[in-house]
Chains A and B, each alone.
Chain A
Amino acid sequence: MSDNMENKTNTTPNEEIENENNQTQYSLNDDRRVKVLSPGAMVAKRFFRNRIAVVGLCILAFMFIFSFVGGLITPYKEDQKFQRIEIQNKEFAGVKENDDLKYLDAEGIERGRLNAEIGKKIRDKLADDSSDSASTTLKHNGVVYRITKEGTDFYTITDIKENKVIGIEYKDIISNSKDNSDFSYDFKFNALKAYSNQLSSFTADGKNYALADDGSIMVGDEEIGFISRYQINTVHADVFLSRAFKDELLVELEKAETDKSIDSFSFTDENGEKSIYTLEYKPATDEWIIYKGTPTNVFDTYSFPTKDHWLGTDRNGMDMLTRLMYGGRVSLVIGFIVEAIATILGIIMGGLAGYFGKWVDQLIMRIVDIFYCIPSTPLLIIIGAVMDANSTPNRLRMIFLMLILGFLGWPGMARLIRGQILSLREQEFMTATEAGGISVSRRIFKHLVPNVIPQIIVSVTMGVGGTIITEASLSFLGLGVRFPFASWGNIINDVNRFYVLTNYWFIWIPAGILLLLTVLAFNLVGDGLRDAFDPKMKR
């Protein structure tokens, strides 16, 4: 800006030289040539000499760029919510090596012939019977059963009287490779028999199946099931565990059993989804519990500053920096609109009171007295609560807020202008306007008010700062600008949650600093302007 000033001082003599060349009769005298600065330029010069005021102006410039340009540059929207993927461990499956004989009713036999009671007896009998004999008998409830060993850990139970196989006892588990549906009894019987005798094929339900050494049951090249000593159960009925997953799981479990540091592994299923599985051993039941880490989308709330979000995210998962920019917009716009309303009303009322005096002055000044006496903060709180009760839409709320603040603000301005005009109207130039027959409204608003402009500018500058604080205070109480609109006040409002105060500095400290700096800057500039406008000032 100082460059501008130098330019001005330089150009003025040049123009005068031109004037001299063209019209010598209008040449200026030396005494006029010294006077190169207009009153406005003098004020500007004094203002820019005041370093503190210039700092204030720079802060204000930054705030305007930050709020109005920043909102355009930022890649995010004002109320754009961000999500993050959070791994939530849910119990997924249990794995247990099957040590117990399981029983299965044969086809056509009423359910429950083989029950837990008889199963226990059979187990005891088999445990007692150390001899590796092919069959043994057992009496239960008056019925005699024959237990026939058909292979390793595989027995059939026959009711001797009826001479009928009523079920099987087995330890190896057959799983379906395709879905969770069960195989038929005949299939199971034959498959288990073949497996426990280490045969490579079997026939069931009239079809031929191949049985691999690892327990896979094949039809041609297609695996339809497999046999294993491990029992793997899912927690969710609708989840199907693939063979590949089961194999991988068993390998990992074996590793985990020897190496205690392994407690999780990742597995990519046939759909290409990768999940993290956590393993946990339960000694009480000799069981492994598998937890599946399910990636869940949650709102990215209170995340600390990162490269994507320079100031982190807020309670709703919105980008803090973007919120601050839009908040600045709201604060500045409200500040200016409120001051504009207050100033226009104040100029009109103050101008009328000052110029006309007498009963007009009395009336207006008593109204001013009433406004001065209204406790404004409680009143604004009540208005906020009333708007709450009527559930006023948030946009309308903002407009009401501006109107009310503006309406409460005019008496100060009116008083200032009236005071100035009272002293100005007695001066000669006003007598001249009266003598010249200029209309009253022109006299007031063209001749009196412009003379008060310095005071108005200073008062407006400081008033904007004050209004911003008032707005922020109301928004802080939750009675001013409301979510989804951002305002520095309602951003800081989150500090009412004590954990935000203690843990998340990035939520409220930046907003507070911006607010403080903005208000301070308005005050500094206002102060600087007051000094610059004051002709009595020393420098």
Chain B
Amino acid sequence: MGKYILKRLFLSVIIFFFVMLIVYALIRGLPSSFVENVARAKSQMPGSKSYDEWLKQLNAMYGLDKGIFAGYLSWLGQFFTGNFGDSWKYTVPVIQKFNEVVWISFIMGVITMVLELLISIPLGIIAATKQYSKTDYAISILALTFISLPTFFFIALLQLVFSVKLGWFEPFGLVGRYYSQMDGWHQFLDKAYHLVLPIVTLVIISIGGLMRYTRTNMLEVLNADYIRTARAKGVSEHKVIYYHAFRNTLIPLVTIVGGSLPGLFSGALFTETMFKINGIGYISYQCMIEGDIPFSMFYLAFLSILTLLGNLIADILYAVVDPRVRLA
């Protein structure tokens, strides 16, 4: 097991190296107007060096004067020594800005995941146990509809119905107008109130997939020989489903949920952008389109690590949960 994990970790590092190389090559194509702006501002200070000299110096400082591969290697070196640089857009250290915005995304992610599990697993099991019934069709179609929903369109609909027409929620923002005058408890309530629509969005668009996954797996388990044996033994249907079958369905579910745990930190780009919540999704989107290379590189590296970590966790959990699986 330990040897397997080590091997996987080594492989992950190699994959990370190539992924970030591709990303870095692309990011270097972004216009570095930031450097030019800074150079211009600095050259206009009294007694300063010329614009060209500043530009040269700044490019050297950010490693933009080197070729792509050499620049990448120097970035990688900086990254692994924990030096992530300063965000060009926000003019604070990348890690500080990241720390400011990642937690709201994480909270949203956790709440969403809990609700997602509570809703989609029971519905998936019901659909599987009543296969080809009206309930099954209803749940299946609902799941497919949720999968097919374009996030941005669904958010716009929610905003129209619940904010504009009914006036129950505010269409944008994380805090209300009087947030600064509230005490702690009311500030918390205010934030929770503003998070209702975003979380509804995230739950709706994510439950479809898990619902179908649960149903498929449950169906597979229900067709297995040991379930037939259990039924033949005269075990009650309730016990067959919720004891024998459900526990076996949990195996792939635990794997997939465990694998998606790191993803809680990755943020929700469309939801945060359209609800104007300063989470990691929204901020990184801003940085990417405005050519903030240090922040974008850090975010993409972070995402890659999350993905690799997720895969690793899923594989390990698979072996841990299912005694039939041996890792080699």
Contacts and interface: CB of A to CB of B under 8 A. Distances in A.
A118 interface: no
Contacts of B18: 370
A276 interface: no
A389 B26 CA distance: 12
Given A382-B288, A512-B153, A515-B153, A373 B15 contact: yes
Contact of B141 (A52, A489, A508): A52
A520 interface: yes
A385 B290 CA distance: 8
B26 A383 contact: yes
A375 B303 contact: yes
Interface string A378-407: 110111111011100000000000000000
Contacts of B144: 520, 523-524, 527
A469 B150 contact: yes
A492 B152 CA distance: 8
Interface string A432-473: 000000000000000000000000000000000100010011
Give the most central of B14, B140, B157, B266: most A CB within 10 Å.
B157
A473 B152 contact: yes
Given A373-B307, A374-B19, A473 B150 contact: yes
A323 B55 CA distance: 46
Contact of B145 (A369, A383, A472, A520): A520
Given A373-B304, A375-B303, A523 B291 contact: no
B23 interface: yes
Contact of B296 (A382, A477, A508, A519): A382
B196 interface: no
Interface stretch (A75-83, A342-350, A495-503): A495-503
B128 to A, nearest CB: 13
Nearest to B145: A520
Contacts of A208: none
Interface residues of A, number: 46
B171 to A, nearest CB: 7
Interface residues of A: mostly helix, strand, loop or mixed? helix
Interface residues of B: mostly helix, strand, loop or mixed? helix
B47 to A, nearest CB: 33
B150 A385 contact: no
Interface in A491-526: 492, 495, 498, 501-502, 505, 508-509, 511-512, 515-516, 519-520, 523-524
B254 interface: no
Contacts of B27: 382
Interface in B52-104: none
B139 to A, nearest CB: 12
B31 interface: yes
Nearest to A478: B289
A372 interface: yes
Nearest to B152: A476
Interface in A478-493: 479, 489, 492
Given A373-B307, A516-B145, A527-B144, A495 B156 contact: yes
A530 to B, nearest CB: 10
Contact of B148 (A381, A383, A523): A523
B299 interface: yes
Contacts of A538: 132
A164 interface: no
B148 A374 contact: no
6 tightest CB-CB pairs across the interface, nearest first?
A512-B153, A519-B148, A386-B29, A389-B31, A375-B303, A520-B148
23 contacts: A52-B141, A366-B11, A369-B11, A370-B18, A370-B19, A373-B308, A378-B300, A379-B26, A379-B300, A381-B288, A381-B289, A382-B23, A382-B26, A382-B27, A385-B290, A390-B29, A465-B148, A492-B156, A495-B152, A501-B156, A502-B164, A519-B150, A527-B140
Given A366-B14, A505-B160, A523-B147, 18 more contacts: A52-B140, A372-B311, A373-B19, A373-B308, A374-B19, A378-B300, A382-B29, A383-B26, A385-B288, A386-B30, A389-B291, A469-B150, A476-B150, A501-B160, A501-B164, A502-B160, A512-B156, A520-B144
